[in-house]
Chains A and B, each alone.
Chain A
């Protein structure tokens, strides 16, 4: 580390990050859930499907 991160900048970013963490986590979980549901609704074609 060669930059001066700045005391104020360090303290503030931790404060902001703690406010943002929970909504961020929820959003990521919801996104993951939607992705899983979508992929289970339309399963990817198996490579053999086109051979018939």
Chain B
């Protein structure tokens, strides 16, 4: 008879994006997030621990805090240690960030590289995916990004910094902010030759961009595939030269700026069609619905510059504020930075085309819908853009909201409203079901209506909805 262990095997799931660095990896054990530190990384880890460098970064708010736990909690053979990092509520990706967010993540990376150099370490990678937004600020989440500095060795992450940060920021600042979306196709960063093709000629007048992008791309082309020169005579670099390089990357990055002006929705908050009384009543109704909603996380879809995200934040909610308009989201990010608001995260996301699963096996970077952690969806002045602007059936919009969260606070804007009239001005009205009754009927399949109030001084309605429990097959019937 074969004896089997009485204790069931623990439920361990390795993070599907954590496989590149042999120093360790991230996994979940019984739902809790851990990071295993492998034996191969032991000398670096012990040195980091003995110098207190990681604690210094955590105290400065630059690195996600962690706690050392029992090594028996490891998920694979040859563990040296196991840590439990503080978990980020919603992992986001650089192609979802605003220009300002990507720039702040870049500057954080360089600050950490500079501190590491001063402490006798090197930041061994400069991946934008190692940065996450936590309490309104960027932090490094990869605790194993450091190695003891090898005297004379150049910065191994230089190329990665240029491809993940400098090239996309330069393209966004100097050519078009929408080029940030290139990061969605190029997960290893924007190829420098492509960046140079797309950058305007005037970027060559900037010493930093000329060196780190234009000449860098040429050097890559020149030495590509050659039996590496550094194997014969490795290039050497003093700590002073390294500090000068990081300092120059910092000033080059800092000088890249973009003003959110002239994008379609960035000035909507000042130029919308609301009368003052209607705007005040909408605030009141939204606050009322939020107060009676449950849970902590609100996803504000079509958040614009964040008027209603701020209301949710003031009620103690954690808010993820999505908008397709880069200008609006950037202005929102600047507001929360200026006010020190730590519970709102603005992102640039098209609700009608949310981030897909990407990378290795399409699982390395998760789709936005797979990351959804909302308790409440807030969709104000949005449904008409999806239903009429994008021809998405109301039932399908309802299904998406029901997939995202158990509750939704939705504004219905009827056809008589000037904003909908504008959408219909240059096209035939092929939306006979786009009425309040049609909305109730379409959303009624997934949701029950908890409250419904017309906004005083307008024809619009705010509905507070709760997802129905029951067989999901009914949800498929919207067509």
Contacts and interface: CB of A to CB of B under 8 A. Distances in A.
A21 B396 CA distance: 59
Contacts of A21: 238, 240-241, 244
A4 B237 CA distance: 17
A13 interface: yes
A12 B241 CA distance: 12
Contact of A13 (B154, B221, B226): B154
Contacts of A9: 158-159, 162, 216, 219-220
B236 to A, nearest CB: 7
B48 to A, nearest CB: 16
A12 to B, nearest CB: 4
A44 interface: no
Interface residues of B, number: 43
Given A1-B156, A5-B154, A10 B245 contact: no
Nearest to A24: B244
Interface stretch (B15-23, B70-78, B461-469): B15-23
Nearest to A12: B219
A12 B237 CA distance: 11
Interface in A4-26: 5-14, 16-18, 20-21, 23-25
Contacts of B219: 8-9, 11-12
Interface string B400-434: 00000000000000000000000000000000000
A10 B235 CA distance: 7
A25 B124 contact: no
Given A16-B248, A20-B244, A3 B156 contact: yes
Contacts of B449: none
Contacts of B212: 16
A24 B247 CA distance: 8
Interface residues of A, number: 21
Given A10-B235, A13-B154, A14-B235, A5 B245 contact: no
A21 B157 CA distance: 19
Nearest to A4: B159
Contacts of A3: 124-125, 156-157, 159-160
Contacts of A23: 244
Interface in B121-160: 124-125, 147, 154-160
B273 interface: no
A6 B238 contact: no
Contacts of B236: 14
Nearest to B225: A7
Interface in B195-254: 211-212, 215-216, 218-224, 226, 228-230, 234-238, 240-245, 247-248
Interface string B151-179: 00011111110100000000000000000
A1 to B, nearest CB: 5
Contact of A11 (B20, B223, B243, B247): B223
Contacts of A17: 154, 237, 241-242, 244-245
B21 A25 contact: no
A2 B20 contact: yes
A21 B222 CA distance: 25
Contacts of B240: 21, 24-25
B154 A7 contact: no
Contacts of B20: 2
Given A6-B220, A7-B226, A9-B219, A1 B154 contact: no
Interface of B: 20-23, 124-125, 147, 154-160, 162, 211-212, 215-216, 218-224, 226, 228-230, 234-238, 240-245, 247-248
Q: Lowest 10 A-B CB distances belong to which pairs?
A: A8-B219, A24-B244, A17-B241, A9-B159, A8-B223, A20-B244, A12-B219, A8-B220, A7-B223, A14-B235
Given A2-B124, A3-B124, A24-B240, 11 more contacts: A1-B147, A1-B156, A2-B22, A2-B125, A5-B157, A9-B158, A9-B220, A13-B155, A16-B245, A17-B237, A18-B241
